[in-house]
Amino acid sequence: LAATTVDIRLQSDSQFLCSDQRMDTELVDRLVLQLNRIYPQILSDKEAHRFRNLSVPTKVRLADLLKHLHRKGEEACHEFYRALHIHTEDIYSSLPSRVRERGPMFFLSCFSFVVGIAILYYYGEGETLRCTGVFLHCSAVRLSKDARDVFISYGEVGK
């Protein structure tokens, strides 16, 4: 069952990966090299050379690589995800399969947390308000760049 889960996950993420502009030639080459050097049983030298051929467009090479890994099985798919996570966490975190894994309770808990902080911040008095500003800066660390900027700017307005 686990093998089919990873295989299905790679299939569902393939379209996203092939259409994402961040999956450029350099990143695809780094992924291919890591799979080839660390796991030659997954990607042989000959296969790696094929997937690094610059005369073929990057999106085509990436689509072929993903199909190849899917045919290789669970371990190959798992190691691709591992390499993607190592080389570009922002793409890895935004994969459709990762977003679905979080589920509605994750988003509900995040929303509730933000609402709680907002209530503390806007309706708090004196010392509570000053302490909240520092907490807002710390809370913004795991947000995306744009969300972090907005979150911190609201924190700065209240000072």
In the chain, where the domains are located = 3-94
Burial class (CB within 10 angstroms; exposed 0-12, middle 13-18, buried 19+) of 97: middle
Report which of residues 120 and 150 the model is more confident about. 120
Question: In which residue are the tokens 């049983």 written?
Answer: 41
- Token pair for 73: 């099985």
pLDDT at 139 > cutoff 60: no
Question: Looking at residue 1, what is its pLDDT?
Answer: 38
| Three-class SS state of 100 | helix
Within 8 A by CB and 6+ apart from 86, the residues are 34
64-99 tens-digit pLDDT:
999 999 999 889 999 999 999 999 988 998 888 887
pLDDT at 56: 94
The angle, 0 to 180 degrees and rounded to 10, between the axes of the packed helices 25-38 and 58-72 is: 30
State the pLDDT confidence band at 3, using cuts at 50, 70 and 90.
very low
Q: What is the pLDDT of residues 6-64, one digit of tens each?
A: 778 888 899 999 999 999 999 999 999 999 999 999 999 999 999 999 999 999 999 99
The predicted pLDDT at position 113 comes to 73
Candidates 107, 32, 83; CA nearest to 62 is 32
* CATH class of the domain at 3-94: mainly alpha
Residue 22 is predicted with a pLDDT of: 93
pTM comes to 0.62
